[in-house]
Amino acid sequence: MRRSSISLAIVSIALLAAACDPEQPAAPVVESVSNETLDIRLDPLPPDFVVAVNDGASLELAPAVEKVGGRVVFEVGDEEPLIDLVAAVNRHRFQVEAKPGAEYKGGQELVTPHGSAFYSRGRFLDGTTLVEETVVVLKHPSASRLLVISYRYPAAGDSSVRVQQLLDLVSVLQVPGSGAAAGDQ
């Protein structure tokens, strides 16, 4: 009986060692992402995110942990003589308030490596699901264009982690080929 227990323990350890084989290749890690059409680069790409879409004028990120849910979308507007960040925040507020179950949470000015920016946050129903959307609006680092970074995710009691993730993306924003933060230009 004792010999069987020892044999079973040895087999269990061998199976566990095989399952934890360090020789197995890890999932590929994207260290940075660039989108030439939008003229932006995220370097390094925060480990909380993976690239979901990077095609033409579309750059979207998803949480690295699929069950977390959510999507980050980058949008760049047309060239304008004046970028009005307050008007962009108000547009977001009106968009949120026009949706069913809407609760606008407010906006706030931020100081970023790229100059002044604002974030704006609200909750609403998307079908039967309560979602929260936080956006950061800022002047594009390389042109007189509005850059909007939107993060839509399932609403929860505390959204501080999601807001911080969005701000982390702003902190790694660069102009492609510069090797420096966009605000250092």
Tens digit of pLDDT for each residue in 80-115? Answer: 999 999 999 999 999 999 999 999 999 999 999 999
pLDDT surpasses 80 at 146: yes
Q: What pLDDT shows up at residue 179?
A: 57
Q: What is the mean pLDDT of the chain?
A: 86
Whether this prediction's pTM lies above 0.85 is answered by no
* Candidate from 29-33, 40-44, 98-102, 149-153 with smallest mean pLDDT: 29-33
Tally of residues, the chain = 185
Range of the domain at 61: 33-184
User: Which range is least confidently modeled, 14-28, 66-80, 114-128?
Assistant: 14-28
* Res 180: pLDDT: 52
Pick left, alpha or beta for residue 53 (phi over 0 → left; psi -120 to 50 → alpha; otherwise beta). beta
pLDDT in tens, 158-167: 999 999 999 9
Q: Is residue 28 part of a domain?
A: no
pLDDT tens digits for range 11-25: 344 434 444 444 545
Torsion of CA 153, 44, 171, 137, to 10 degrees: -50
Residue 24 belongs to a domain? no
Q: Which of the pair, 175 or 123, is modelled with greater confidence?
A: 123
Q: Does some domain include residue 1?
A: no
Looking at residues 121-135, what average pLDDT do you find?
97
Give the chain's domain count: 1
Percent of the chain with pLDDT strictly greater than 70: 79
CATH of the domain at 78: 3.40.1000.10
Q: What pLDDT shows up at residue 14?
A: 41
- Are residues 46 and 162 in contact, defined by beta-carbon separation less than 8 angstroms? no
Q: Is residue 25 part of a domain?
A: no
In the predicted structure, residue 140 carries a pLDDT above the cut 90: yes
In eight-state DSSP terms, residue 25 is P
Would you state the pLDDT for residue 15? 39
Is the previous residue joined to 28 through a cis bond, with omega within 30 degrees of 0?
Answer: no
Decide if 13 is inside a domain: no
Q: How far is CA 69 from CA 65, 74, 95, 156, in A?
A: 8, 17, 22, 12
**How buried is residue 34: exposed, middle or buried, by Cβ count under 10 Å (0-12/13-18/19+)?**
middle
